[in-house]
A and B are shown apart, each in its own frame.
Chain A
Amino acid sequence: MTSIELRRASRWYGNVVAVNDVSCTLGPGITGLLGPNGAGKTTVLHMMAGLLEPSAGEVLIDGVGAASDPSIYRRLTLVPERESAYGFLTGREFVRMSARLQRLPDGEEAATRAIKLVELEDAQHRKIATYSKGMRQRIKVAAALVHQPDVVLLDEPFNGMDPRQRIHMMSVLREEAARGRVIVISSHILEELNDLADTVLVMVAGRLAASGHYRAIRRLMTDRPHTFMIRSSDDRRLAATLLSDASVIGVELTTNGSGNGIIIRTSERSTLTHHLPRAARDAGIRLLEIRPTDESLESVFSYLVDR
Chain B
Amino acid sequence: MSGGVDGTLIWLSARQLLAKRRALLALGLSLVPAVVAVVFRLLVADASGASGDFLIGLARDLVIGALLPLTAVLFGTTAFGGDIEDGTLLYLLLKPVARWRVVVWKYLVAVVCTAAVMLPAIVLPWLVVRGPDLPFQVPLSLLAGLGVGSALYCAGFLALGAWTRRALVVGLLYVVTIEMVLSRSLTGVKAISAREFALAVSQKLLGNSAALVDKPVTTATVWTMGTLMLVVGVGLTIWKVRRYEAAERL
A binds B: yes
**A16-B250, A51-B246, A100-B8 given; A84·B94 CB < 8 A:** no
A93 and chain B: residue at smallest CB distance: B1
Q: Mark A28-56, 1 if CB is under 8 A from B, else 0.
A: 00000000001000110010010111000
Verify B87–A80 contact, CB threshold 8 A. yes
Which residues of A53-92 have CB atoms within 8 Å of chain B's CB atoms? 53, 70-74, 77-78, 80, 82, 84-86, 88-89
* Per-residue interface assignment for chain B, residues 222 to 250, with 1 indicating a CB less than 8 Å from any chain A CB and 0 otherwise: 00000000000000000000000111101
A101 adjacent to B92 (CB under 8 Å):
yes
Could you tell me if B94 and A73 are in contact, using CB atoms closer than 8 angstroms? yes
Q: How far is the CA of A85 from the CA of B94 in the complex (A)?
A: 14
* B residues in contact with A107, CB < 8 Å: 3
- Are A70 and B98 in contact, CB atoms less than 8 angstroms apart? yes
Q: Could you tell me the distance between the alpha carbons of A53 and B245 in the complex, rounded to whole angstroms? A: 8
Tell me, in angstroms, the Cα distance from A78 to B90 when the chains sit together.
9
Q: Are B247 and A101 in contact (CB under 8 A)?
A: no
Binary interface encoding of chain A residues 98-135 relative to chain B, with 1 for a CB under 8 A from any of its CBs, else 0: 10111100010000000000000000000000000000
Residues of B within 8 Å of A93, CB to CB, are: 1
B95 contacts the other chain (CB 8 A): yes
Give Cα distance in the complex from A90 to B44, angstroms.
51
Smallest CB–CB gap between B190 and chain A, Å?
40
Q: Which residues of B contact A88 (CB under 8 A)?
A: 15-16, 19
Q: Scoring B residues 34 to 52 as 1 if CB is less than 8 Å from chain A, else 0, what string do you get? A: 0000000000000000000
Report A-chain residues with C-beta under 8 Å of the C-beta of B248: 18, 38, 42-43, 46
Whether the pair B96, A74 counts as a contact (CB closer than 8 A) is yes
> Which of A49, A89, A101 is within 8 Å of B97, CB to CB?
A101
Most chain B CB neighbours (cut-off 10 Å) among A51, A93, A101: A101
Q: Most chain-A Cβ atoms within 10 A of its Cβ — which of B3, B16, B99, B246? A: B246
- Most chain A beta-carbon contacts within 10 A, residue among B8, B95, B97: B95
Bound form: Cα–Cα A46–B248 in Å: 9
Known: A70-B95, A107-B3, A143-B91. A13 touches B246 (CB 8 A): no
Q: Let me know if A231 is at the binding interface, CB within 8 A.
A: no
Shortest beta-carbon distance from A94 to chain B in Å: 8
B39 to chain A, nearest CB (A): 36
Asked whether A305 is an interface residue with its Cβ less than 8 Å from the other chain, the reply is no
Known contacts: A13-B250, A16-B250. The answer to whether A100 contacts B4 by CB under 8 A is yes
Complex CA distance for A38 and B250, rounded to whole angstroms: 8
A18-B248, A52-B246 are contacts. A73–B8 as well, Cβ < 8 Å? Answer: no
- B88 interface residue (CB < 8 Å to A): yes
B residues with a Cβ closer than 8 A to A are 1, 3-5, 7-9, 11-12, 15-16, 19, 86-88, 90-99, 245-248, 250
Give 8 nearest A-B pairs by CB, closest first. Answer: A101-B95, A100-B8, A82-B87, A84-B86, A51-B246, A84-B87, A73-B96, A42-B248
